[in-house]
Amino acid sequence: MDEKVLKGLTISCGILTLMFCILVFFLPDMRLKAQKLKENQESMKFSNVQEVIEKRDDLLGRIMLNMPEGISKDDVEVENLYMKRKIKVIFPKIIDDFFSQYKMAGSCNHIDEIKYYKSKEKSIIEFSVDKVYEVKKEFQADKIFIQFVDPHEIYDKVVVVDPGHGGDMPGAMKQGVTEKDINLDIVNELKAISEEKGNSKIKFYFTREDDTNPSLEERVSLANDSDADLFISVHNNASSDGKMSSLNGTQVMYDEKSIGKHGSKHFAEICLNNVCKSLGSYKRGLLKGDSIYIIRNSKVPVALIEVGFMTNSREIELLKSKNYQKKAADGIYNSVTQAFEEGY
């Protein structure tokens, strides 16, 4: 073979080898960038909400969206994630380049951020809002109107109920039972009672409805941000060393800075009387609670109810029973109604 040809082939092979090495080295990075580009196209976030919402003074407290083609009003879901201060509008199909195709107009004052993303063949617009709102939706022709309403414009009274602990914070544990589960069971009974009573003038919000663990700040801020009229936290007690003992009964903690006629201390007394009456439990009395984060940071009348002792052999058996949990919930509900009758 001619020496020049051989040399040329050697150089060509060297160049190809170098290009291959470069491609192999940079290919993962190229794929990552392509994936990020795709994710950016599928997820958009706007901190300056006026980028996507045309300001309209005639739509105070409302957002108007043009309905995507091929979607009826029955297809549109609205979720109010009030613990996260997020409201989702969900369309049942993937919509590319949403904000270019479908305009939004309205009031931006209560919206901190807007996010658009796709998930499981659905398109989702997520509004991060500045406080707790109720959401109303209205359809007119090819438009949907989302209205953010202060709860007190719909309900006479607002109550926030907090099942203590949750998630990786079980609270007291005895006989294979965790306090977090009993707390939630009692609050679920309270929720069922409130729905059964059907009092449309009272709105109950719950800091958790499953085995999650909201932070203490998130729990008390739900009461504060909703301008709740009452804040109730449901717990169960244990002996100081965690061992089984004869200690039993119901105790309620209160905010020692709130001792007026419609303050935390009197509300705690109402809770103590009603829960003990409903359960037939020993009345252990009231306890100052300013060492407890959610009590000292609550801006509304607060009561932390220690329903019973998990370290008492008789009381733990009662606390595990659905009948006893329902009685505890009855006592809490009666406390709420009495407090409102007294002008809270």
**Helix, strand, coil percentages in the chain from 3-state DSSP, rounded to 5:** 40, 30, 30
**How far apart are the C-alpha atoms of 23 and 21, rounded to whole Å?**
5
Mean pLDDT by 10 residues, the chain (344 residues): 53 58 51 42 83 90 91 93 97 88 90 93 95 95 93 98 98 96 99 94 98 98 98 98 97 97 98 99 98 98 99 98 99 99 98
Q: Write the CATH number of the domain with boundaries 44-149.
A: 2.60.40
Write down the pLDDT at residue 33.
42
Pure H helices in 79-176: 98-101
Write down the pLDDT at residue 25.
55
Write down the pLDDT at residue 139.
93
User: Under 8 Å CB-to-CB from 17, ≥6 apart: which residues?
Assistant: none
- In single-letter form, the type of residue at position 296 comes to R
β-sheet bridge partners, residue 173: 178
CA-based max dimension of the chain: 108
pTM of the complete model:
0.85
Write down the pLDDT at residue 15.
61
Q: Write the CATH number of the domain with boundaries 153-341.
A: 3.40.630.40
Spans of all domains in the chain = 44-149, 153-341
Write down the pLDDT at residue 103.
87
